[in-house]
């Protein structure tokens, strides 16, 4: 019997985090430097949320200039209560939970240690690969 795919085969390994009390400008710099759209947020070594490019744009708003970013902290813009999964969780379960609860990402851990992040881009890639394999298998049967 075929094993169901696990999140370990679909997430983006990533160990960079930002502290909840860090300046928002630091989060923006990390996002830009690492060419990612989301970062896990920690406080006292615990995962407490995530911050995205969209979160930063939302708090800056159309009327705020970039000078205002120096007055803001990650805690002013982040998304709390992250969806945390384990490396061995079934991919299907993670995808369905993300869709149902409208999570933009899942923080992937193993034995309580951050291993990476699973975003909607990873979800699209996983579904696309599944559909490609399905098509190839279907064509092979015909």
Taking only the tens of pLDDT, the chain with its 142 residues reads 557 789 999 999 988 999 999 999 999 999 999 999 999 999 999 999 999 999 998 888 776 555 577 889 999 999 999 999 999 999 999 999 999 999 999 999 999 899 999 999 999 999 998 889 888 888 777 6
Contacts of 98 (CB under 8 A, 6+ apart): 83, 104, 105, 106, 120, 123
The pTM score is 0.86
How distant, in Å, are the alpha carbons of 36, 73, 82, 93, 98 from that of 121?
A: 11, 26, 17, 17, 12
């Amino acid at each position: 019997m075929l094993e169901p795919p696990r999140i370990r085969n679909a997430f983006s390994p990533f160990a960079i985090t930002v502290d909840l009390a860090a300046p928002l400008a630091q989060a923006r710099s990390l996002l830009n430097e690492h060419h990612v759209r989301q970062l896990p947020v920690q406080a006292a070594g615990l995962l407490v949320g995530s911050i995205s490019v969209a979160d930063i744009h939302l708090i800056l708003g159309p009327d705020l200039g970039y000078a205002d970013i120096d007055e803001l902290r990650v805690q002013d813009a982040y998304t709390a209560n992250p969806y945390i999964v384990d490396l061995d969780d079934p991919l299907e379960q993670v995808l369905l939970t993300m869709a149902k609860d409208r999570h933009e990402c899942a923080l992937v851990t193993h034995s309580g240690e951050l291993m990476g992040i699973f975003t909607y881009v990873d979800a699209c890639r996983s579904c696309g690969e599944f559909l490609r394999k399905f098509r190839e298998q279907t064509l092979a049967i015909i």
